[in-house]
Structure 1
Amino acid sequence: MEPELLHGVTDGVATVVLHHPAKRNAMTVAMWEALPPLLDTLAADPGVRALVLTGAGGTFCAGADISTLRVSPEDAQTLAVRAEEALAAFPKPTLAAVKGHCVGGGAQLAAACDLRFAEEDALFGVTPAKLGIVYPSSATRRLVSLVGPATAKYLLYSGELVDAERALRTGLVDEVLPAGGLDERVAEFTGVLLSRSRLTQAAAKEFANGRTDRDAHWAAQARGSGDTAEGVAAFLEGRPPRFSWTASG
């Protein structure tokens, strides 16, 4: 099969699969170009409550498929940054489900997700120093925000791969699962996300991503939503809440 992005929506969860198994799901130019419009489509779907990004088979993504690049390195990096920023801006919770290698552009995409769950055999690497590439400032800042400046410098200066346990200790990964346990845990956790308030999640994502001018907007949304009253009532009555806020109002 040709390298491509596969996707589907099941029970409110969109799954995007990086599919290029011949090259450990390395991203081609066409794959980089296809990701932003695909994310726009999924973001506009009211039935999508969360998104999972993963790779086909036993690996996440080995970076960029250099053999397919028919553009300059600068243009290729621009495509990668556009895809990364589109993923970071996705308005609903995002989770990278990582098996095997998560390297280069793959690590860039994983870092742009809100959360990262990995199997215990996963390997992570930020490898521009191996190719003489200047890592984008946006991706560098995002990496620093996840792991701190010391670990970010270690990864960027050396290009060395780190295992899942070290990634967990440094904040690059949120959970590490035993072999064979990732898919079940991701399904379980996305179910938790879908049971929570979309209002809380949307506001938290904006604030966590640095929006400092939206307090009044979200306060007004909260007043008109009924989610707070429902959450309190459900707690007092010992039942699951039935939150009703949606971004469309």
Structure 2
Amino acid sequence: MIVSLVGSDGAGKSTVSRLATERLLAAGRQVERVDRWDIVGNPAYPTTRFMKPDVQHTRLCVAEMPTTARFLFLMWSISQALLGRSPAAVAPDRVTLLDGYWMKHAAGEIVYGLDRAWVEGVVSGLPVSEHVVYLRLDPKQAWMRKVGRDVVPYECGMDPACSQDGFLTHQSRILDVLDSWAEQYGWLTVDAGAPLDDVVGRVVSTVSGLPGAGHAVTAPAGSPRRGRAPTTG
């Protein structure tokens, strides 16, 4: 079962997914957190050993790619992170908690000019996320979280100065796309501006209440699950 935590830049996807995974494991739940950058410098993914084992360097290179190539690379990386795992990791009674999945990057590349219908067609070929938790955060709050720390041009409409205006304008456009998908596909929307403990607790309770999110058992052997024909949720 795939559960995706999605949201615009600064929404707290990485922090919330990490803390939620820790709580779920402590409670005896079978859960694994997966991020697209897990494939970099990781012997668990031998087919990506050609990549430089430096996530920050990789991210910078990706941001410099032409829009279409960048989008396809990002979709390839997340599919590798998902499908390149061991059979035990994709057992039916195990939850995969995805940090981001395709949604934010797809929305971002649409804002950068890619055709929305084409983008949605590409992501329709990825494994289904049965549940999507949308960490929605106002761009002004996101800016306050990130300013002076890790704002990059890619998050600011490629503004090399990484200005507040560039960030707010670009992130607002991404939010519009994510909002439209949330409404269309019935994502669970969570206020990411709430106290962190409350946001993490909401994710934990959501995952714990899902069918199949049982307590840890010995995972059966078997082949990795193939992605069935998905909707874009």
Per the shorter chain, which TM-score range? Answer: 0.3 to 0.5
Q: Which has the higher strand share?
A: 1
- TM-score normalised to structure 1 length: 0.34
Which one has more relative contact order, counting CA pairs under 8 Å at least 6 apart? 2
- TM-score normalised to structure 2 length: 0.35
